[in-house]
Every structure is written in structure tokens, then in C-alpha cells.
Amino acid sequence: MTEPTSAGDSPATAAEPAAKAKPATAAEPAAKAKPATAAEPAAKAKPATEPPVVEPPRATNRSSSLVLVATGDGKGKTTAAMGTVLRAVARGWAVCVVQFIKSGKWQSGEAKILSGLGVDWHTMGDGFTWDSEDLEHSADMARSAWDLAKEKIATGRYRLVVLDEVTYPVNWGWIPGDEVRACIAGRPEGVNVFCTGRDAPAALIDLADTVSDVRKVKHAYEAGIMAAKGIDF
């Protein structure tokens, strides 16, 4: 396996669809997104031209734990999760990261620094699906990653568990989405879970407390620029 060539914060996979396309499954190719036309502009909020002077309603409730999801076709999903990991480590939390698709051969910067800071780190994929010599073996690796992830969640030892790129094996039918949702919903008190990946299933979005849809506006890879150490991995 070679280093990632996509300039995204997480490696693209063969079945990753365009934004808003129907997620691909093991037996179904990715649906093609309908191209935007001049008559169908993307909805865009009008930027504020004045600073807000009215304070919004304040939150008054506390939760013992949260479920966070970073999805969408833009760069920044794994990056957001890693920032949260760093914040949690700084607070003295026990943290576990399980990566479902990324390959350990890439030796990412975040794996190097965060494992050195005591994060329980597990990179358990074999990288780009188009590089796989045996997709069933890739699926087995994802199932092993899920077996480990649900064990880590169930122990209650970790204040934060990151399931990086978990949406892909769920959408491809490699791991059961219902089981993933049930495990997260039934997690021990105090265990926060952060899931990343494109096309987050509706059940996962419904369960989550915070969901960010990371939208691509431009991407260096589209200009033929390879992924860069220190920026992308």
C-alpha cells in the first residue's frame, strides 16, 4: 500500500459518492449526483453584515456524554475528530481511536503524536478500496475493527471513542448499521462517541447530539495536487 494520494483529510475510497449522492453499498455502485445548473443554485445563507448584539438563548442542561458526527464530502472530518481528541487528552481523558479504512502503512502525523500522548490507537483498514487485492479481506478487517470498537465502548473506560470512517463499512454492508447504532445508544454513562465519514446513515444522524456536514467548496486534489504530509496525513 502506498501513501495516500488524495488531498483529503481522510483517504477517498472507491465507492465514495459525490455530495448528496446515494451512498454506495457492496452490491450497488455510487449514484451520480445531479449537476447544479444556473437555475438551481446551492442554498447559501446570507452572511451577516453587522455583529450580533442580541444574546442567543443560553444552554442550561448538562449531559453525561454526547454523540458527535462529522459527515459530508469536504475535507475536515477526521481533522475535526483529531482536534477533539487533542482537547480531550489535554483534559486528562482516556481516549480510544479506531480507524476502519485508513492503512497503518501511511503513518499519519496524528497517529504518531496522539499515540505518543497516551491515546489507545488502532488503525485497522487496508486503505484505498481500489488498491485492495481482496475486498472480502478488506471487509473482514472492517468487521475486526468493529469487534474491537464495540469492546472499547462497552468497557466504559474511555471518556472519548472515535470511530473514524465508520460510515463506509456500514453503508457497504460490511458491518451491521443497526448494531452500530444500538452499541452507541447503549454505551456506558460518560462515554462520548465521535463518528466520521461521508453519507452518515439517517439512524446515526438521528441518534447524534451534534452533526456537522462538511461541504466541499474546492479541493486541491481536483487541481492534481497530491496529499501532503503535515496537511493531509
The pTM of the full predicted model, rounded to 2 decimals, is 0.81
pLDDT in tens, 90-149: 999 999 999 999 988 778 999 999 999 999 999 999 987 877 888 999 999 999 999 999
Percentage of the chain beyond pLDDT 90 is: 67
Tell me phi and psi for residue 161, to 5 degrees: -125, 125
Angstrom distance (rounded) from CA 101 to CA 92: 28
- Quickly count: other Cβ atoms within 10 Å of residue 64's Cβ: 9
Q: What is the pLDDT of residue 156?
A: 98
Which carries the bigger pLDDT value, residue 21 or residue 168?
168
Comparing 19 with 139, which gets the higher pLDDT? 139
Residue 6 confidence class, pLDDT cut points 50, 70, 90: very low
Higher pLDDT, 164 or 230: 164
pLDDT at 23: 60
pLDDT value for 42: 56
Is 200's pLDDT higher than 80?
yes
Residue 151: is its pLDDT beyond 60? yes
CA dist 146 and 167 (Å) reads: 11
Q: Whole-number mean pLDDT of the chain?
A: 86
Q: How far apart are CA 221 and CA 233, in angstroms?
A: 14
Residues paired with residue 68 on neighbouring β-strands, in sequence order: 194, 210
Q: Is the pLDDT of residue 35 over 50?
A: no
Does pLDDT of 85 surpass 80?
yes
Q: At residue 48, does pLDDT exceed 50?
A: yes
- Predicted confidence (pLDDT) at residue 180 exceeds the cutoff of 80: yes
- The mean pLDDT value for 40-51 works out to 75
Q: How far apart are CA 198 and CA 214, in angstroms?
A: 9
Domains and CATH numbers, the chain: 67-223 (3.40.50.300)
94: alpha, beta or left, given left = phi > 0 and alpha = psi -120 to 50?
Answer: beta
In terms of phi and psi (left: phi > 0; alpha: psi -120 to 50; beta: otherwise), the region of 105 is alpha
pLDDT of the residue at 215: 96
